[in-house]
Amino acid sequence: MTTADATTTETAEEVLDRVGALQPLIREHSAQNERDRKVSDEVIAALQDAGAFRLAAPRRFGGLEAGLRAMLDLSALIAEADGGTSWVTTLSNINSWSTCLYDEATVAEIYAGGPDTILSGVVSPGGTARSVPGGYVISGQWPYSSASLHADWVSAGVWEVDENGDEIDQSMVVMPISDVQIKDTWYVAGMRASGSNTIVADEVFVPEHRLSSMLPVASGGYLDLYPDNPFYRAAFAPMLVMVLVGPQLGLGRAALQIAVTKASTKALAYTNIEQQADSVAFQLLVADAATKIDTAHLHAYRAADDVERYAQQGVYPDFAARARIRADSAVALTSVNSAVNTLLNACGAGSFADVNPMQRIWRDSNVGQRHAVMLPQVSMETYGKALLGKTDHITAIL
C-alpha cells in the first residue's frame, strides 16, 4: 500500500501471532547474527512479511498505530528468540512513531514504498543544519544508530546554525540511507547484531520539510496537531524510554525458560543432586528470578498504560508523572538484569559456553540496559528530584 489513503483492517494481535510463529527461525539465526554483527536478511524479510515493522507506522499508509503496549509485546516476543533482532525492530518502530514530528510531505516520502519501511535514527545532536535556499545542508556523525544496516531512512539530531555557525535551534532531520555513509564502528560485547553503527553525513542537502524543531517536543507542543489521533499524542520522552524496555522483558523470559527447561536434565555439579530441579537452592534462585521478571513486566505495563491513558485524554503528563514513568523503566531494567544474573548463578559456569544462549542473553541484557536514553541511575535521580520538588533537571529526555 503506497497511497496516502491506504487503510488496513489488520490488528496488532495478528502481527504478534505471525511473529511468534517466526521464533524458531529467529532463534536459528541468532548465533550467526551475532558473529556477522548483523541480523540475517532472511529474518528481516520474514519480519517485514509478518508486519513487525508496520506496528507503529501511520495508519493512512497501511500501518497499525498500535500503541506502546503492543510495541513492548512485539519487542519482547522477538527478544525471546534474539536480543539483537528485537533491538533492530524496536528502534525502527520507535522511529516510525516519531515520524509524527515531521511534515506531511516527509511522511509521504518515507512511506512511499509501503508501511514496512525500516528506519534508523539518533536523537542526540551529532551534526549541524545550515540553511540554504530550499532547505538545509547537513553535516555530522551519529554513533549508535541501531538498525543502520537494514534501514531505508535515517533520522538524526542536529543543531540548526546561522551564517556565523552559532546554534539557533535543536532539530531533527530525516535522510534517505543512500544519502549518508555507514561507518563500521559497532564492535561491542552485547547487542552485536543490532547494527548500531555510526551514520556520517557530509554536506547532505535536505529539503525544508524534512527538518523539524525539537523545542515543541519538550513541552508537548505537538499534541494539538493530532486532535483525532491519540497514538501520536503520546509524550515523546516516555515513549523513547519505555519502548527500549521491551527487549529486556523478552530476554528475561528467555533466560528463565532456558533455566527451567534444563533443570530436569542437568545435575548440580559437585553435589549428589542428579537434577537441578531437585535442589532447594536452585528452586529458590529460580523463584527469585521469576518474581523479578514479573516485577519488570508490572512496572513496564503500568508505565505503558499511563502513557497511553494520557495520550487518549490529550494531556501532556506533568514532570512528576513523567519522572515516575522513567523510574518504572529503571525498575524494569534493573529487575531483568538482576534476574538474569540470578539465573546464571543457578545454572553455573556452563552458562558462559559459546554454545549456550544464556551467555548471549546476559551480554545483550547488560549492554541494552545501559543505553544512554534510559540509564537507570539517571531515571531514579530524576524521580527523586520530582518527589522532593527539585527543578534542576539532569536530562532533556523527560
Handedness of CA 355, 356, 361, 362 (dihedral sign): negative
The pLDDT tens digits for 231-281 are 999 999 999 999 999 999 999 999 999 999 999 998 888 899 989 999 999
Q: What is the pTM of this model?
A: 0.95
The residues near 28 (Cβ < 8 Å, ≥ 6 apart) are none
**Cα separation, 301 vs 237, whole angstroms:** 16
Indicate the DSSP class of residue 113. Answer: T
Do 230 and 351 belong to one domain? yes
SS3 382: helix
Do 379 and 237 belong to one domain? yes
**Cα separation, 335 vs 329, whole angstroms:** 10
Do 207 and 304 belong to one domain? no
The pLDDT tens digits for 276-320 are 999 999 999 999 999 999 999 999 999 999 999 999 999 999 999
Point out the domain boundary residue: 54, 85, 110.
Answer: 110
Whether 333 contacts 295, CB under 8 Å:
no
pLDDT < 70 positions in the chain: 1-9
Indicate the DSSP class of residue 396. Answer: S
Q: Is residue 51 part of a domain?
A: yes
Closest CA to 233 of 311, 304, 309, 303: 311
Do 123 and 106 belong to one domain? no
Which range marks the domain in which residue 359 is found?
Answer: 225-387
pLDDT of residue 219: 83
Do 131 and 249 belong to one domain? no
